[in-house]
Amino acid sequence: MPRRIVAIVGRPNVGKSTLFNRIIGQRDAIVHDQPGVTRDRHYADTDWAGKQFTLIDTGGYVPASDDTIETAIREQAQVAIEEADLVLFVVDGKAGQVPADASIAGILRKAQKKVVLVVNKVDGDSPHGQVSDFFSLGLGDPIPASALLGRRIGDLLDIVTGDVAATDTAPVDPRLKIAIIGKPNVGKSSLVNALLQQDRHIVTDMPGTTRDPIDTILKYYGEELLLVDTAGLRRKSKIKESIEFYSIVRTLKSIERCDIAVVLLDASQGLEHQDLRIIETAVERKRGVVIAVNKWDEIEKDDRTAREYERALRETLRMYAFLPIVFISAMTRQRIYKVIDVAKSVDAEQNKRIATSELNDVLGPDIVALPPKSRSGKEIKIKYISQVKTKPPVFAFFCNEPTMVDDGYRRYLENKIRSHFGFTGVPVLLSFKQK
């Protein structure tokens, strides 16, 4: 079931970032603190009462120039209402209603999506006066809150997560869903167009479709594959911050909806922070991943440059050594269908199940050769192993002291699983359980 995407929109200074931090700070939001990954995220995974969602703050995408701020806010509200599952529209209860609020409300009212109108900065005990000013926005009952003091945030989250089950009813599409993702200008649209050539079939029956179809069918050797969220690729803006916001919303949404994420990189530029973050996000969400290095035509002048480029890239991506890398050119069409072949093979890998007997026979000797030890030096006994799930594969290790197995040993086991059984392109999960 796709995790829902909740976007926070509103004018500057109404308290969007404060609300974002309040919501993710209260919960066990996943905050990554790895080298090479900054913590200035404007989106985060969190949950309320066991219901998971991804929260995005448009306040992180504000242009520096005053005369583009208003346009950017409107553009981002538009994207939020089209792409997110729910919009939190924040207004300032201290300032009261201002014309810009009405203009944003006008955009939000047009869509079918659920909008929650949050009147922030209601710090005191009697919200009525501050709230009544906002009924006229035509977005239903305004919900009072104080992001700063953390008041009524629980009520708000009850509303946000209240109808999660309703999004759960979409029929499962048996076609392989491939998302082509990557930062702006890496060549995503070019690749989609190159793959489709003339043979363009548009899906019209997808749930969630408003006016435009959001996915595209690719016919490949008689099989239908879905390229997800291709409509989002056509979006244009002159404002850099809006482009970044579109890019991240589309990325998150596409990852949620896909079976396989093809992360496109631009060979003519070095690997950037944003590229790594996209790879990280797909891996975190346990999708099968293929890395496709596009614009290879600009690099492959001679063998030596190509080899050196590839070596350096693999070195930078060594944390993700299990991901396959394909070198392509959407422009010359070089190896573009290899991307699809590799995506299909990664999908086969993520659906693979290793029999319990085989798993124990093969991994048993590795565990005997290097048994896990607790910090105090006590040996941890792994009794048996079973693959309890596919897509993503989950391996359960039944042992006497499940909490004592450290990260280093987890990596050892994961490497052994990969060296014996493959799972190329597939994030795997290891779970340690009491026998």
* Nearest in space to 325 (alpha carbons), one of 313, 333, 308, 337: 313
Reading the block at residue 190, the tokens are 């070019």
* Residue 300 makes contact with ligand GDP by CB under 6 A: no
Measured CA to CA in angstroms, residue 63 lies from 12, 244, 245 at distances of 11, 11, 11
The residues, any chain, with a CB within 8 Å of residue 234's CB and separated by 6 or more, are: 189
The residue (of 162 and 184) whose beta carbon lies closer to ligand GDP is 184
> Is 187 a binder of ligand GDP (CB under 6 A)?
yes
Tokens read off for 1: 């079931």
> Cβ closer to ligand GDP: 182 or 324?
182
Would you say 331 or 404 has its CB closer to ligand GDP?
Answer: 331
Going by C-alpha positions, the residue among 243, 214, 257, 250 that lies closest to residue 7 is 250
Q: Is 292 in the site for ligand GDP (CB under 6 A)?
A: no
331 is an interface residue for ligand GDP by CB under 6 A: yes
Does 16 engage in binding with ligand GDP (CB under 6 A)?
A: yes
Whole-number Å distance between alpha carbons of 105 and 10 = 9
Strand-pairing partners, residue 291, are: 263, 325
What DSSP letter does each residue of 318-351 carry, written as one string? GGGTTS-EEE-BTTTTBTHHHHHHHHHHHHHHHT
- Of 196-204, 295-303, 339-347, 357-365, the segment contacting ligand GDP by CB under 6 A is 295-303
Give the one residue of 47, 70, 123, 300 binding ligand GDP; rule: CB under 6 A: 123
What are the b/e assignments for 141-164, b being 16+ CB within 10 Å?
ebbbbbbeeebbbeebbeebbeeb
Decide: helix, strand or coil at residue 379.
strand
Using CB under 6 A, which of 1, 12, 65, 435 touches ligand GDP? Answer: 12
Determine if 3 is a binding residue for ligand GDP (CB under 6 A).
no
Among 5, 7, 9, 18, interactor with ligand GDP by CB under 6 A: 18
Residue from 190, 281, 387, 424 in contact with ligand GDP (CB under 6 A):
190
Site membership for ligand GDP, residue 4 (CB under 6 A): no
- Choice between 18 and 254, CB closer to ligand GDP: 18
Asked if residue 288 binds ligand GDP (CB under 6 A), the reply is no
If binding is defined by CB under 6 A, does position 63 make contact with ligand GDP? no
**Rounded Cα distance, 74 and 108, in Å:** 10
Instruction: Please say which residue, 193 or 390, places its beta carbon nearer to ligand GDP.
Output: 193
Distance CA 123, CA 362 (A): 61
Q: Which of residues 33-62 bind ligand GDP (CB under 6 A)?
A: 59
Alpha-carbon distances of 12 from 9, 123, 135, 384, rounded to whole Å: 9, 19, 21, 56
Q: Considering the rule CB under 6 A, would residue 148 count as an interface residue with ligand GDP? A: yes
Select the residue interacting with ligand GDP from 146, 230, 254, 387 (CB under 6 A). Answer: 146
344 binds ligand GDP (CB under 6 A): no
Residue from 233, 293, 323, 399 binding ligand GDP (CB under 6 A): 233
- The strands making up 51-57's β-sheet, listed across from edge to edge, are 43-48, 51-57, 4-9, 86-92, 114-120, 143-144
Least distance to ligand GDP, CB of residue 98, Å: 13
Binds ligand GDP by CB under 6 A, chosen from 281, 329, 387, 424: 329
Tell me which residue has tokens 């941890």: 380
> For binding to ligand GDP (CB under 6 A), which residues are involved?
10, 12-18, 59, 120-121, 123, 146-148, 182, 184-190, 233, 294-295, 297-298, 329-331
